[in-house]
Chains A and B, each alone.
Chain A
Amino acid sequence: MTTRAIEPWTLAPLKGFVKEAAVRLVLVMTPAGQVLAQSGFGRAVDVMSAAALSAAINASTVELAKQMGQPPFAGLNHQGERHGIFLSALTAGKLPLLVLAVYDLDVSSLGLVQLFYEQLATELQTASPKDAAPKQVLAADFERELGDSLNALFGR
């Protein structure tokens, strides 16, 4: 399974999570949907779709929690017939991140994914650059940045 990262400090924690939790697909991204690392995806278009949809789901649940006067939900799990989808937010240093994990129910389980997600969150927190401010993506550079990111994520 291919695991690639734009931000090198995310790579080792992500590889560990993929191995231990036996997940099929993973995205590490910002809440805006900017992907920092991926594992298991074969096509750029799938990464872009999954990132955009995950960011939208997260935005919806954050707003829903706000409407209910509650802190944001800790995580979201959707269990299908053969696969489960797990989406959760964490903070690595000053950087808010989203993690999307897709797992096969006959290989992994929600319990395993939750267990090793906690480890992933701790490792990302430890590995994150302490003095880095979140990078702004300017509209003018957006397309080039997106192209560069996808090239890095697919080893081109």
Chain B
Amino acid sequence: MTAAGFERALDLVTRVRGVRGAMLVASDDGLVVAEQLMEGIKGPAVAALAASLGNRLRRAMEAAGIGTSPFWHLQCEHGALLVVPAASGILVVAVAEPDVNVGLVRLELLRAGEVVG
């Protein structure tokens, strides 16, 4: 995967209206692989905390015997965090406005996840 490939994957997500930024995050170490974020979003902090949360969710689901989650969505007062884990261990993360079209973002996150591999 090249840097241009990562950018292409992020473009899929950031072109959706209401998305304030997208990131590819290494789920093992919580570091940013690539990002397209609006000013004011703390990329490294979101990456580290989203990866930590993702790992805990994965373990909780494994412990509960309910398989893995292909998509998770955290709705907050002033926005939303939407994440798709790609097969390669990279998390595709979107930070969005509270009234974003979640279905469309989910679709583009899944597409971006396929691009990343």
A residues contacting B by CB (< 8 A) are: 79, 105-106, 108-112, 114-115
Contacts and interface: CB of A to CB of B under 8 A. Distances in A.
B49 to A, nearest CB: 7
13 contacts: A79-B29, A109-B29, A109-B51, A111-B25, A111-B30, A111-B47, A111-B48, A111-B51, A111-B52, A112-B49, A114-B31, A114-B44, A114-B48
Interface residues of B, number: 14
Contacts of A115: 30, 44-45, 48-49
B49 A110 contact: no
A104 B78 CA distance: 33
A112 B31 contact: no
B28 interface: yes
A146 to B, nearest CB: 36
A110 B26 CA distance: 10
B10 to A, nearest CB: 18
Q: Which one of A79, A108, A109 has the highest number of Cβ atoms from chain B below 10 Å of its Cβ?
A: A109
A110 B29 contact: yes
A110 B52 CA distance: 10
Contacts of A114: 31, 44, 48
A9 B52 CA distance: 29
A109 B48 CA distance: 8
Contacts of A106: 55
A109 B26 CA distance: 10
A79 B28 CA distance: 11
Interface string B20-35: 0000011011110000
Interface string B44-80: 1101110110010000000000000000000000000
